[in-house]
Amino acid sequence: MTAEDFGVWLGRQLRRAGLSQAELASELSVTRAAVSAWVTGRAEPRRDKIEAIERLFGLDTGSSASRTEIPDNFETVHWYHRPGHADGGREYGDTAAFAFDGDPAVLTREATQNSLDERLSSDRPVHVRYVLEELEGEHLWDFLEALRWHDLEEHFQAAIEGAQKVGRVLRSGLDELRETNALTLLRIEDYNASGLTGDEYEDGKFAAVLRRQLDSRKSATAGGSYGLGKATLWSTSRFGLVLVNSSLSEPYEGHRRNRLMGRLNLPWHSVNGRSYAGPAWLGREDPNRDGAARSWWGDDETVTRLRLSREGSAPGTSFLIVGAHDATGNAGSLEEFKRSLVSGLAHSFWPSMVSGDSPGEHPPLEATVAIRRNGDVLSEERVNPYEYEPARSRAINAFLNGTTVTEKTNAEDVIATEVPLTVPALRGDKASVSITHKAVLLVTSSSPDAERPNHVVWMRGNRMVLTDRRFYDVPLGTEPFEAILLAGLATQGPTEETEPAERFLRSAEPPEHNDWRPTDDLTATYVRGAATRIKEFRKAVNDRLREVLRPVVATAEETPKVLKDMLNLDPPPPPRSPGHPTVQDIDGEVGADGSWRLRVEVRFPERKDPWEFRPVLRFVTRSGPHPRVAWADLTPVRGCVLAEGDLHRLESDPGARHATFEGVSDVNDHPVAADMAMVEVDLERGRGEER
């Protein structure tokens, strides 16, 4: 490694100390031109001046030659609150935090996806650890003292005086801390990741995470794309408070270890007649920006007191959520919280934890969850994909080993077949052309004790589970199965068609990254018809799966004559069909999130042209009207697609006589709890004509 120039080192010491070149010249009794020559590298000072520079900056003798940096003095670290907006604008919370459910499964999905996206070396997995720790007694008070908690109390008190949701959650957290004298921390740390590199304020990963919203700073093929997922860290804290310690893959200000900062997200509030916008940062004062805080380089003692110590020197980042809680209320103990975290990791990332069997081959991800109390480890579990998804993990392993088959001969065989995806040309790029990507569909038998057989899992990129949905259109006599769709880079490595497919599918994902559907990004990036390509791909997957599952049946010539005679009966005349689409069957249940999850079969009169219809969901109560309820999601299963430009209108396949779709009710639009009402589905066609 090339040694850093003295001038670069000296310039950094001046910035850190908040000194100008003229002030340094005055301290050393030299001309300003001499200092300028040192900083620009045109000259170096004499030995006596170098020793004076080291003393002035509080450095050990010889530090200028070794370019050694020392940690910042923690006594200079304080909380810096953003002043209220000059125009009187107010934000009563971080809107990004409300984009996600306050569920540990959502937290693990968003945080772990970010770690996978920042994987540094492809030769090793990124290791993610979730550490739940409860602090009590002297351990709690030492942590709060290091956190400068006392300096925050008047801001907390002002923030809870309003009636906003954020204030109510904060009040609850403060009350529990006073009543129990205990505090729950959740540290999420990754290793073999890039770390929060980059400048304090300019474009870079550090600024994107700690200073900005809707800035993901990721490649076009990463899992995340909106820059919203990091908000789940702050929303998991009762206080909206997260501390960060990052080990960098590339140095900044001459350091790599213990880049520290804290961020607090409060609503607008007023203290002693002065208004504050809400956000605050724990750091050292920036001498070049009035009232702004910079990250600081922590010593090992401070890092330990702040519960941010990292194991080893591998680059990556630790996020400490202060006052961590399960907003769903399902986790009443540390062990229950741990189970929720393990379950979330297993559900979303089991494919990323599977590798092939070649020597030296590693999965992209390893994950563990631990519980501690006052520093003592109580339990720790490494998430094993084969324990939670044995059949599916076996299927991914067979694909990675190249041992899949085209025709099943025994229960553990994994069938692999291709499904075409048309990637349209880029809008406004004359050189861009449409290409065909070959996605891979894996099908294998379910485990005997499988809780969710006959499901299809979709994924791309780093193999995070995108959707996990039941496949209803199963041929009669089919044994329970599991199916996995691999698309984009999940089909193994970048090629001329996998990377464009990855970017195309990424643009079709909503912020939750749980579906492929028409989005603003999709229609703005690709030529007209991009939304139709997504619909065609979903239909192609379902059609191909039906072909794989279709059992071999005996031909008419193989049927015994006596049996043919018995079956040769004249069928009754079919009932007269109405002149409009009708609901033929509806089945469903109330999900864990309180939504109705329905499967609806529709019958169409015979005609060549497609039928367009809009499903209408109503709650049926014991008395009164049947109020209309919005859909949170509509998914075509068979015989239909989503209509162009309308996510709540369906279009039948040309000539289809039957169609099946799945729907999920919008919990926020329920007039009563789902389990207090039955549901019915009507169909509208045209404009407002209801059937």
Residue 634 pLDDT > 80: yes
Q: Do 502 and 433 share a domain, yes or no?
A: yes
**Residue 9 token pair:** 């080192």
- The pLDDT value recorded for residue 558 is 54
- The pLDDT value recorded for residue 162 is 66
The type of residue at 47 is R
Separation of alpha carbons 683 and 153, rounded Å? 56
- The pLDDT value recorded for residue 553 is 55
- Whether residue 112 lies inside any domain: the answer is yes
Q: Do 182 and 266 share a domain, yes or no?
A: yes
**Residue 663 token pair:** 């729907």
- 549, 571, 592 — which closes off a domain? 549
Q: Do 377 and 310 share a domain, yes or no?
A: yes
Range of the domain at 686: 582-690
Note the pLDDT tens digit of each residue in 547-564.
Answer: 999 875 545 455 555 455
- The pLDDT value recorded for residue 68 is 63
Q: Do 158 and 290 share a domain, yes or no?
A: yes
Q: Where are the alpha helices (DSSP H) in 118-263?
A: 137-146, 153-159, 165-180, 205-210, 231-235
Note the pLDDT tens digit of each residue in 498-517.
Answer: 999 999 999 998 877 788 88
Separation of alpha carbons 437 and 456, rounded Å? 20
Q: Do 36 and 139 share a domain, yes or no?
A: no
Separation of alpha carbons 618 and 631, rounded Å? 10
Q: Do 338 and 209 share a domain, yes or no?
A: yes
Most confident of the following: 212-226, 335-349, 623-637: 335-349
pLDDT tier, 578 (very low <50, low <70, confident <90, very high otherwise): low
Q: Do 273 and 348 share a domain, yes or no?
A: yes
Region 472-490 average pLDDT: 89
Region 136-150 average pLDDT: 95
- Whether residue 162 lies inside any domain: the answer is yes
Separation of alpha carbons 351 and 349, rounded Å? 5
Region 209-219 average pLDDT: 67
* Domains: count for the chain: 4
Range of weakest confidence among 153-157, 224-228, 351-355: 224-228
- Whether residue 210 lies inside any domain: the answer is yes
- The pLDDT value recorded for residue 105 is 87
- Whether residue 571 lies inside any domain: the answer is no
Separation of alpha carbons 267 and 159, rounded Å? 6
- Computed over every residue of the chain, the mean pLDDT equals 85
pLDDT tier, 232 (very low <50, low <70, confident <90, very high otherwise): confident
Element (H, E) at 539: helix 530-549
Q: Which of 636, 684, 639, 643 shows the shortest CA–CA distance to 657?
A: 639
pLDDT tier, 197 (very low <50, low <70, confident <90, very high otherwise): very high
Q: Do 442 and 525 share a domain, yes or no?
A: yes
- The pLDDT value recorded for residue 404 is 95
Q: Do 341 and 252 share a domain, yes or no?
A: yes
- The pLDDT value recorded for residue 687 is 46
What CATH number is attached to the domain comprising 641? 2.60.40
Residue 242 pLDDT > 80: yes
- The pLDDT value recorded for residue 70 is 66
Q: Which of 339, 396, 407, 348 shows the shortest CA–CA distance to 369?
A: 339
Region 571-586 average pLDDT: 67
- 500, 530, 549 — which closes off a domain? 549
